[in-house]
Amino acid sequence: MHFKKLLALLVSAALMLSLLAGCGNGESAVQALLKLLDGRYPNISIEIDHDLEADLRQAIRKAEAENAGDDAAVIRAALETALGSTITFRYLGDGQQGDTTFDLVFYAGSDPDKAAQAAYSQWNLVFANVPDDGKYDTALAMVETENGVWMLVKATVDKAGTPDKPDKDDENGEDNGQQEPQEPEKDPYTDNGDNSYTINTKDGLQQLVEDLNWPADHTILSADITLDSDVDLQGVDWTPIGTSSRSSYTGTFDGDGHKISGLNATTSSQYSGLFGYIKDATVKHLTLEAPAVSCSSSNGYAGGVAAYMQNSTIDNCQVSGGSISCTDDESTAGGIVGYVHIYDTQTEENVVKNCRVSGVTISAKYSGGVAGTTSGTNSRIENCEVFGCKITSQVSGTNGNAGGIVGSQSWSTTQNCFAHGNTILANGPSGRAGGVVGNDLVGSIIACGSTGNTITATVTPNGSAAGGVAGYTNGVTVTACFSANDTITGPEGDTGPEEDSRAGGVVGYATSTTSNVTECYWSGSLGAAGTSSYGTVTDCYEVGTDDDTGTPVTWSTVAADMGNYWQDNGPDRCPTLKDQ
């Protein structure tokens, strides 16, 4: 029986909701929090800590002083100096007495439910799984800025627990002294027939892979798999399922709301991730916790869910924490998928939708929070959110791209996506960095937002560019998008003078007269596009100024133009993406 761990799930969710609902009244929030937790979470003490709040405020001020705004990396570094830590937060349950750790979550917006979910998606994975015989002291702090809400947790191990120790009630029965009946041990997985399987235990997926003799036998490539349990791949040297277009995964993988933790896909082959290559496939309703995905092959691809997708759908998947990287100078990496590609524009379609990526380090030549590269007129990234990530185009060659949502986009569409609180960096000559898309060729960016990101293209000049929405565009349409308080640093133009800039509040550099920026908005010191850009900029305004009719432009103006997927947070706060 796991009553205490189930209770931990419920209490930590309620904790976040209670805390955030009281943003405007700290005293009432504290009282509600203490009442909620009293006697219901015996091995973790939780309190609101005003000294911790002061430390968080000081870290935020330090970032502001360095003109880093809401840069999570700078704030974390300041907190590390102030608080110190002896273990990584996600390993709190393995800590020894006296160990300390902290974790930081940023939510761009004022919606308490979504802010709670942002923190819950990271912290609950830890709180709900600490040993029941350990004791832990936990302090919380929260600070609102003009861009959103910062939430900080600090934890100290008061008494080390024993991992996987049974609950006392499980050992001794209920209060009447009677031994409670034990549930029968489940089979690792159930064979439903017709190459369909249900995973029943944390070891069931690996057992199925072994029983189907992957990769020597290709039976698993067409299997339909549903999770009925969380999966733990800790200690498993994972072989990505699907190795090429001819040996691709073609089934349906339904996580059914469960998570896979401990994924370690480190390979010298071309495709690395939970799946290597998916084709005519669907992957949905799945969370990956702290994956370690890397690829050292030439022309390599890496993604948390899949390295490469063709004519497939990825829906409602999340990746939280961990790292995804490729080391080759012609490589591609994305938080959800590495490469999204169409071979037949008449019959094929790719859709990545309703996905979230948080706290992930992503690095390759083409790096994106959701996808490294998208290509093809029927390839779409829709309603996705990326926050608190470090996304870097790190190459020794040229033309590296980094984007909050997509690194490099060609003839495809990114729509209703939101990137906030990320560090986005394009290194090397002709590097392009964008809050939403790094480099875009004949694509469309529609109703997307970027806020609190640090966006940098480092090399001058050689075609580099940095923009709040897109770094570099060629024949692209950017419509109803915004950049709010991003820190954008781009190079001077090829001709050298300072005024010939390739950094812009919306687009860094538009190289074609067929590039159009329409009904877009920004805040900050830069113009809509770098001063050396070509293309057309129409009905675009800096928030806080007046439009052509003399009407003040506010963030509510922006929300109205962006459509039903976006939440209007009032005239003084940028819109945020709604839950769909």
Look at residue 523 in the predicted model and tell me its pLDDT: 92
pLDDT digits 0-9 by tens, 60-108 = 888 888 766 666 777 888 888 888 888 777 778 878 888 899 888 776 7
Q: Which residues of the chain have pLDDT under 50?
A: 1-38, 165-175, 493-499
pLDDT digits 0-9 by tens, 136-171 = 888 877 777 777 777 788 889 999 888 654 444 444
Whole-angstrom CA distances from 120 to 19, 195, 302, 421, 427 are: 12, 36, 27, 17, 33
What one-character DSSP code corresponds to residue 519? S
Task: Label residue 351 exposed, middle or buried (CB < 10 Å: 0-12, 13-18, 19+).
Answer: middle
Packed helices 3-21 and 112-127: angle between N→C axes, nearest 10 degrees: 150
Bridge partner residues of 266 (DSSP): 294
Look at residue 524 in the predicted model and tell me its pLDDT: 81
Pull the structure tokens for residue 223: 């299997």
Look at residue 49 in the predicted model and tell me its pLDDT: 80
pLDDT digits 0-9 by tens, 523-575 = 987 888 876 677 788 999 999 999 999 999 999 999 999 999 999 989 999 99
Look at residue 398 in the predicted model and tell me its pLDDT: 76
Query: b/e map of 483-500 (b: 16 or more CB within 10 Å)?
Result: bbbbbbebbbbeeeeeee
pTM, 2 dp: 0.74
